Amino acid sequence: MWPKNCWYIAGFAQEVGQKLLARKLLNQAVILWRTAENKLVAMEDRCPHRLVPLSMGELVEDQVQCGYHGLRFNAQGACTHVPGQDNLPKAAQVKLFRVVERHALVWIWLGAAELADESLIPDMHWLDAPGWTPTTGYHHMKADYRLLTDNLLDLSHETYVHRETIGNSAVADSPVVTSVEGGLIVRAHREMPNIDPPPFFSLMLNHTGKINRWQIAVFMPPGMNMTDVGAHPVGTDREKAAIFRVLHLLTPETEHSTHYFWAVCRNFRLDDAPLGEGLKKAIIHTFDEDQRILEVQDRCLQEEGMPSIPQAAVKVDIAPVQGRRLLNDVIKREQENPSAVIRPLLMADDAKVAQPPAMAAE
């Protein structure tokens, strides 16, 4: 269902403080918190005494106190206190997970601990790099994370699902060029020249006339997705286009639920707070629309016994099918070789403005 020897996102860095944050990640119950020295801690949400979730307790003097019998565990997972007795049972140890803060995100390694390597953390620098302003949010999706990636690799649905924000007829009618890079990244490139701007693009450009727009759906297993978006008024220079790097960062919760951490990172109007507020409102509305579709789709698939999809393939399925193949290859490699890890590639190059596929190939 998913590989484990890779870094997943457990939350935004700002979510994790000196209070227990409980999350289920890859069917594993976890609690996250910070010590008084700001050290990140991720441990199993399970008291080794009577298996009650530690998240039902609280932090006391930089330690997790179980809400059932008051046993305490320090940041190393060791039991330090049992009410009513002096001796500490050796079996009272809580499992820890490797956790790292980078790019304003908290990354967790749930696979083989000896394989955890910080150099394998994907580059998401747009969240905290100079020259970019992020607008962030979170959706809890009751759907298989693979359905979310399918949806993000086939953006033709914008015409029908998102007509109030980012979609119009130009999206579904524009041809897509799909490519695979390094056996790990799928790119689905769509150019939309001389089109009417959907509402979202009128907001971002403060312009209601014709625009040139492109978007590249980018996927890297297991759940790193980006929509690389550019737009500029017709008659202006492509090199000066307004660019969005829309990050869709997926961590499976269970087989049929997903943590969807998202960020709309822009390279223009960086200090425009009202623009950021408008973008957030529009994006929440957009992803709410995705959520309705995807959760219904997941329920339908479960009712039919989880058949393979698409049942009737069309052209727009090329990128999602390629994405599934790459993901399946990664899962298979890990099953055949328990030491296999995912070595991420760069999803977008800030030094280059995306060119139409025919020009890029020259």
CA dihedral 88, 92, 98, 99 (to 10 degrees): -80
Residue 91 in tokens? 């079996």
CA pair distance 156, 169, nearest whole angstrom: 9
pLDDT tens per residue, range 288-308: 999 999 999 999 999 999 999
The DSSP element (H or E) to which 10 belongs, if any, is strand 7-12
CA pair distance 70, 41, nearest whole angstrom: 20
What letter would DSSP give residue 197?
P
The DSSP element (H or E) to which 211 belongs, if any, is strand 211-220
Residues sharing a CB contact under 8 Å with residue 335, sequence separation 6 or more, in sequence order: none
User: For 7-118, CATH number?
Assistant: 2.102.10.10
| Contact status, residue 192 vs residue 232, Cβ threshold 8 Å | no
pLDDT tens per residue, range 53-107: 999 999 999 999 999 999 999 999 999 999 999 999 989 999 999 999 999 999 9
Q: Which residues does residue 191 pair with via DSSP β-bridges, in sequence order?
A: 214
Return mean pLDDT, the chain.
94
Among 228, 196, 252, 221, residue whose Cα is nearest residue 323:
221
- List the Cα angle 348/349/353 in 5-degree steps: 100
3-state secondary structure (DSSP) of residue 327 = helix
Confidence of residue 362 (pLDDT cuts 50, 70, 90): very low
| Contact status, residue 248 vs residue 152, Cβ threshold 8 Å | yes
Compute CA 143 distance to the chain's CA centroid, rounded to the nearest angstrom. 14
Q: Which fold has domain 124-344?
A: Naphthalene 1,2-dioxygenase Alpha Subunit; Chain A, domain 1 (3.90.380)
pLDDT tens per residue, range 216-255: 999 999 999 999 999 999 999 999 999 999 999 999 999 9
Position 290: which residue type? D
> What per-residue confidence (pLDDT) applies to 59?
97
For the entire predicted model, the pTM comes to: 0.94
> What per-residue confidence (pLDDT) applies to 358?
67
Q: Work out the average pLDDT over 327-334.
A: 97
CA pair distance 119, 107, nearest whole angstrom: 12
Q: Determine whether 119 is exposed, middle or buried from the number of CB atoms within 10 Å of its CB (0-12, 13-18, 19+).
A: exposed
Residue keyed to tokens 């500490």: 88
Among 96, 95, 110, residue whose Cα is nearest residue 9:
110
Confidence of residue 169 (pLDDT cuts 50, 70, 90): confident
What letter would DSSP give residue 288?
H
Q: Which residues does residue 58 pair with via DSSP β-bridges, in sequence order?
A: 65
Q: Work out the average pLDDT over 182-199.
A: 93
CA pair distance 131, 125, nearest whole angstrom: 11
CA distance between the termini of the chain: 39
Residues sharing a CB contact under 8 Å with residue 349, sequence separation 6 or more, in sequence order: none
- Which part of the chain is CATH 3.90.380.10? 124-344
CA pair distance 76, 341, nearest whole angstrom: 26
- Which part of the chain is CATH 2.102.10.10? 7-118
